[in-house]
Structure 1
Amino acid sequence: MSDSTQAPYTLRDGLNVAIYDWPLPMRQRPRAAVLIVHGLGEHAWRYDTVAQRLNEWGFFVRAYDQRGHGESGGARGVLPDEDTLLDDLEEMVDDTRRHICQAWACPLVLLGHSMGGLVAATFVQRHVAPVDALVLSSPALDTGMTAFQKRLTRLLYRWAPDLTVSNGLDANGISHDPAQVAAYRSDKLVHDRISARLAQFIDSNGPRVVAAAPTWAVPTLLMYAGADRLVRPEGSRAFAAVAPSALVHSRCFDGLFHEIFNETDPSPVYAELRAWLDDRAPA
């Protein structure tokens, strides 16, 4: 366990979300603040190991449980509005800039995984608020939904947007490490709920991010699993193929499953992340 802190944060609509901070030792200036956005059905504390590693490298780390997830309020997997997760992230970015980045005169890096990667990428694509760099881990740019599933999602979105069903994610696809799969399955804060509105957000915004790739303007590291069974790696490949190479660096980890930081040997993933961060936020 690392020396992290947990605190409630009240959003504009009165909902309380849980924020986790992994600060550096007193008076040590962080190289940057890294804000982590977790994936569908999970929660921020699952990134404790990632946060500890970033701490060791000299980064302040913050993560939060998105609404309807983890220790945060809200019905599981339900959104009051299709863009609510973007609005919530804007508040997290603004608060992190005011209390961390401005205090230490350091840049802000977004790190999003899976659905969180889509939320972070959409946030950047729409220019909701400025960020200095973006890291995407197996982002949900292509869910692989069939034509029938897409039609059903649109129908439910119109008539029953808050109706939740199982997200259908197979835990065996998160990692080759049986211990990671067992921990995921036994985690009481992990859930499998997804509403029609949330499904519509994911399905509609992935293609929009890919379409915006040629005009991408934020330094981005895209890391994705070549053997991903939860989201299609073709979405990341399509983004990388047309994004400006001067700003977007991509790396496919052949053979890895969805949670690249939780694989049996994540050292190549961490090495890629560290090398990229060293170039963007020198020690």
Structure 2
Amino acid sequence: MRDYQKRTFASHDGLELFYRHWPATDSGQPRRALVLFHRGHEHSGRMAHLADELELPGFDIFAWDARGLGQSHGPRGDSPSFGTSVRDVQTFIGHLRERHGLAEEDMVVLAQSVGAVLVATWAHDYAPNIRALVLASPAFKVKLYVPFARPGLKLLRALRGNFFVNSYVKARFLTHDPARIASFEADPLITRPISVNLLLGLYEAAERVVADAQAIQIPTQLLVSGADFVVHRKPQEQFFERLGTLRKELHVLPGFFHDTLGERDRGPVLERVRRFVLQQFEQPPARPSLLDADRIGASCAEAEALATPLPARSLRGLYWRLTRAGLKIGAHLSRGVKLGFDTGFDSGSTLDYVYRNTPGGMGRLGRLVDRTYLDSIGWRGIRQRKLHVEELLRLAMARLREAGRPVHILDIAAGHGRYILEALQGVEPLPESILLRDYSELNVRDGQALIEAKGLDQIARFIEGDAFDRADLAAVAPRPSLAVVSGLYELFGDNQQVGNSLAGLAAAVPPGGYLVYTGQPWHPQLELIARALTSHRDGQPWVMRRRSQAEMDQLVAAAGFRKLEQRIDEWGIFSVSLAQRVDG
């Protein structure tokens, strides 16, 4: 039996999480790691048998206890949100990289059930550079058995707030292995209650990831239990069919219950896992290039479909005409909707209004309509993006100060610049200079007024500028040590255009400087936006081409930046990343 060490790490919010580490026993091998994520309700001890049974002596093996489970801290069976738990995964991988000296490309992640959904969501949202994924019976859709259970849970949560439900699953329906059944029933660390917030968040994330699995480019092995009483098989098969990687394999295991990796006859299955893991290290890590994803692929086809007018007499065409008409009526009541039609729903003026988040309009009804508008999921995501931009700006400024370097900020499409200026609250010392640019004379005027209102006109100025003029960006003076691109590239689907802009920034930012950039890997209202809202560009339909996080990161890397940190909202819509300019 391989010995393990008990360890802990502080997650992103400071909560202490527990994990086990089985050091490699074959020191003659290059550093490699297998990272295990357990089922819901369980803990790392339930996967400890795999450290020996997989027969991978050259691998360090790690297994965590998710927050609220096992020996990790946090309320039992709960998490502030599913997205919080996904970010725990990102933090754990970062800890393994920093504490144990492991490169991401030398890690394989193996996860089961709820853990597999956490990991699949992380792979989609954060685009990690790990070597491979092995997912066993991912709980993309739990069998609740009670009719209308999910709507009922949503209703009860709206009435009662968060509450807990107990797992109905008996050990004998998880595995045929008598020893596993007995150990499950006697295990004091099993946590049967799960919060409804976490359960509903699991459903929502799973639906998103299954629908957009094409964004996952990581080599993946999927194990599906053939007699699973706990989760549905169809979403697992849909996920596999849509996976973006060409290096993928599916194994349906007849007669297996839900505890796939703990089943009685698991030996041959574990041999398949072992073979798949070792095969990934027989060749250098590789990902398909996504630099031409604007011209071929799923997001290109999606954007082209959204840009194609619907037949005038079709039901969908009628529906969206009525939706546009309703919004036009709303513009007479809601200040925000009117501003969107006047300046574009993607304009700097609209975004500044959304940031301020104060409803206005004609009377009480108008403010109510405006409140509903401001509370739409897209605008909630935008406000969270602003907070993430400010957080990473402060982080980058602190790192520059620690390195003894001056802080010269450049934002190439700042809108009104509110997120830059409000990020400076409490920052000492202030940056040496701030240069805000925008194509719009209106944004420049209002942004300069905001600079003066905040008393920053001694260090900050606002000028007109083209964010896609490579030579102009490269010539910016003083050279920026911290460049920012927020909410711009999402509006332009052409990768060459974005690449030129990034190349200009790479020429301007010296090695060791930083870049904060945003992305939009997902949006649940793309058709509403394309069919009913208008852009700042001459009132044309606002058609967006989504970029996966992997695509956006490749564009940034091609320009000469190395990604360091990332944040993303609870809904997986808007990401914010911090990268550093590398030599060469």
Structure 1 and Structure 2 fold alike (TM over 0.5) = yes
Counterpart secondary structure, 1:276? helix
What TM-score results when the alignment is normalised by the length of structure 1? 0.91
Structure 1 spans left out of the alignment, 5+ residues = none
**CA-to-aligned-CA distance 1:224-268 (integer Å, 9 cap, x gap):** 101111111222122223335722211111111111221111112
The 2-side partners of 1:159 and 1:172 are apart by 35
* CA displacement 1:157-183 (0-9 Å, x = unmatched): 444453112022222211012221111
Q: Name the counterpart of 1:110.
A: 109
Deviates more, 1:119-128 or 1:187-196: 119-128
Equivalent residues of 1:226, 1:252 under 8 A apart: yes
Q: Is the 8 A contact 2:112 2:138 kept in 1?
A: yes
- For residue 121 of structure 1, give the secondary structure of its aligned residue in structure 2: helix
C-alpha separation in 2, matches of 1:128 and 1:241: 19
The offset of 1:187, in angstroms, is 0.4
Structure 2: which 5+ residue stretches go unaligned? 284-584
Distance 1:10 1:2 in 2: 26
Q: Does residue 24 of structure 2 align to residue 24 of structure 1?
A: yes
Equivalence for 2:99: 99
Q: Residue 52 of structure 1 aligns with which residue?
A: 52
> What is the identity, as a one-letter code, of the residue corresponding to 2:94?
D
- Residues 182-201 of structure 1 show CA distances to partners (whole Å, capped at 9, x for unaligned) of 11011000121110111112
Whether the 8 Å contact between 1:90 and 1:128 is mirrored in structure 2 is no
Fraction of identical pairs, as percent: 29
CA distance in structure 2 between the aligned counterparts of 1:185 and 1:268, rounded to whole angstroms: 26
Q: Is the 8 A contact 1:156 1:196 kept in 2?
A: no
Q: Is the 8 A contact 1:31 1:282 kept in 2?
A: no
Higher mean C-alpha displacement, 247-256 vs 25-34? 25-34
Q: Is the 8 A contact 2:131 2:280 kept in 1?
A: no
Native 8 Å contact 2:82 2:202 kept in 1:
no
- Structure 1 contact 33–106 (Cα < 8 Å) conserved: no
Give the AA of the match of 2:92: M
Q: 1:155 to 1:247 in 2, by over 3 A?
A: farther
- Structure 1 residues 208, 246: closer, same or farther in 2, change over 3 A? same
> 1:177-192 counterparts in 2 under 5 A?
177-192=177-192
**8 Å CA contact 1:31, 1:59 repeated in 2:** yes
Tell me by how many angstroms 1:50 deviates: 0.7
Conserved in 1, the CA contact under 8 Å of 2:216 and 2:245? no
**2:217 and 2:245 in contact (8 A); partners too:** no
Larger radius of gyration: 2
Rounded to whole Å, the distance in 1 between the matches of 2:127 and 2:164 is 28
Q: Is the 8 A contact 1:22 1:55 kept in 2?
A: no
- Residue 195 of structure 1 is matched in structure 2 by 195
Structure-2 change in CA distance of 1:236 and 1:40 (3 Å) = same
Cα pair 2:116 2:136 within 8 Å, conserved: yes
Q: Give, as a single letter, the amino acid of the residue that structure 2 aligns with 1:119.
A: L
Q: How does 1:67-82 map to 2 (within 5 A)?
A: 67-82=67-82
Give the residue type in structure 2 aligned to 1:148.
F
Number of residue pairs matched?
282
Structure-2 residue corresponding to 1:127: 126
Q: Find the residue that maps to 1:126 and give its secondary structure.
A: helix
SS in 1 for 2:199: helix
Deviation at 1:73, TM superposition (A): 0.9
Partner residue of 1:38?
A: 38
Paired with 1:161 and 1:129, the residues of 2 have a C-alpha distance of: 34
Report 1 or 2 for greater relative contact order, CA contacts < 8 Å, sequence distance ≥ 6.
Answer: 1
**How much does 1:101 deviate?**
4.8
